[in-house]
Chains A and B, each alone.
Chain A
């Protein structure tokens, strides 16, 4: 069987069975990664372009490693030295990529819909590696894969996402991904960082962390960008940490252990205490490791690989 989508633009477009297909493939590739020589020839001869319009080390690297593990050629389109600086539009860039006959494009942009725009103009497959505050589907797939390794039944699961929901593409993709698998999702943060109507995407809103923290199995802490303070969205880091920080004291009060996730990069001492990250309940580094396997699964599926193959 082939994957039924040409592109991966967001979790919004995926059905539950699409998600399970990717998780299944991820499992196979996760085993590949543990081999002494972690490479398969699945995408030999394919060329993928990494088109990152925003600085990103981990996601760009994760896609590059995923492509190499599949024996694909991956080319990093370096924005700083490119004609984008000279005023070239995304459409021009798309047409140029098309002319060079590549098989797939991975795009990261600060603008929501950039991946959709590219997909409309390209025959090559497009993977959204984050578009503004819209979606970051491979991060969400990596998050649910990581959870699936620890907890088998999603319908019994309660997930809490804490922090700046308004500006977070991870939050939007996570809410969709977890709820499509049947988990209950709650979000928590100051109302100034919770966008209007978010509850209608499948989550419940809480303003006070301690009330909801004791009821969930998984907590996803989001990065708080310090610039948000300057526009008045929260009064100080000190107060933010007091209200929404995942501190050791706060977690020690809980009766049961929580799985702690963070999409990175972490603001230590703001949304997450360093002491918390090193506990066995933190799966932050597993998320990163699984991220490579998820991206292998996505690239493989979109490049036309058999999605029911055994690894």
Chain B
């Protein structure tokens, strides 16, 4: 809890909406930003000196797996929402692959209740597009919307029947809801466990070809254009998908797309040790793909950086590569990985990078654009761009520890998050 009146001094405000960096102090009273400027009178206020830090609107993650209900041993809404804050995310969209799936109002209400009780990041549920995420019948989307979902998706089980996908896209128009699509032609990925190519061939591991993703990206873009619906393409991992999305955007087709930090910072070679922390779906691709993803982020082809935070127990991951589940946690490392790979390596300037974590995901969900302005409730992330830190098991906030970034020195650290009159320090 913060005092009723606080002043943040010495920070630089990153405004991704107005595209401005401003050295300003912020005066917050009872959780509301009252004044932005300099040299406030400071009687009876708490002063937080954040010299050398940047202040940005809280980040929004479009793609998180919180596991509750069903797999509370891996993550809970509370642990996941706290891990989110540690990574600078004040809003996270949770995917419907829970047990039971988010395909009825009961589960939506339960999630909203749990996240309110936890009081960390706000959790925005994504409803299942089809009943039981089975890809056959449209779920009761109207009921789900009434309960509070912000998007629909069948998550890791893509809707492979194009007729069903068309129906979902059309039906979602009633509620002006985005449809999030995990693009993967399962018949082509054929039980693969890593990217198909020279490395999978050498290792004797079954491969998932890039075309398994790209061909469905193309199909779903055509369906979205035909039905004039809102399509958001999840976790793009391949150069071919990037090229298709770029083509679609050039044609004026209205779609959005996201990628995740691991697709521009890690590559398939990392599977050579058979370490299942590198097993993720879509799989880590080639250097060429990672480069294409970074360029796509730079030119706006890819709008959003999401985490695809996917917690798994160590006992599930410490097995043969074939047997391990897909996925890695990512909430706590996403910002630093992106900061190093995109900002420090000059693919994006700081403002445009922050936009990929704030206003771009807000646009996908049609939320108010996250800006830092007088009169607004404080929803701020404060980060130190110069801080170097090592992501270690001991500091992980998520309930699971399946991260390939453990032991890696990271650049740029979330130091504080302020939501209303709550201060979280990391």
Residues of A whose CB lies within 8 Å of any CB of B are: 12, 89-91, 109-114, 116-117, 131-135, 169, 172, 195-198, 200-201
Contacts and interface: CB of A to CB of B under 8 A. Distances in A.
Interface residues of B, number: 20
A172 B198 CA distance: 12
B274 A89 contact: no
Contact of B321 (A89, A113, A195, A196): A113
Contacts of B204: 112, 131-135, 169, 172
Contact of B322 (A89, A112, A196, A200): A112
5 contacts: A110-B322, A112-B205, A113-B205, A113-B274, A113-B321
A135 B203 CA distance: 8
A112 B203 contact: yes
Specify which of B207, B274, B315, B323 lies most central, judged by the most chain A CB atoms within 10 Å of its CB.
Answer: B274
Nearest to A169: B204
Nearest to A91: B318
Interface string B296-339: 00000000000000000001001111110000000000000000
A117 B274 contact: yes
Given A112-B274, A116-B273, A117-B274, A195 B201 contact: yes
Contacts of A90: 319-320
Given A196-B207, A197-B197, A172 B202 contact: yes
B320 to A, nearest CB: 4
A196 B196 contact: yes
Given A114-B320, A134-B203, A196 B315 contact: no
Given A112-B205, A116-B273, A132 B198 contact: no
Contacts of A112: 203-205, 274, 320-322
Contact of A109 (B200, B203, B205, B320): B320
Contacts of B201: 195-198, 201
Given A134-B204, A200-B198, 16 more contacts: A12-B202, A90-B320, A110-B322, A113-B320, A116-B274, A117-B319, A132-B205, A133-B204, A134-B203, A134-B205, A135-B204, A172-B204, A195-B201, A196-B198, A197-B197, A197-B202
Closest 4 CB pairs of A and B: A113-B274, A134-B204, A197-B198, A133-B204
A192 to B, nearest CB: 12
A196 B318 contact: no
Contacts of B200: 195-196
A143 B315 CA distance: 38
Contacts of A114: 320
Nearest to A115: B274
Nearest to A165: B201
Interface in B170-214: 196-198, 200-205, 207, 209
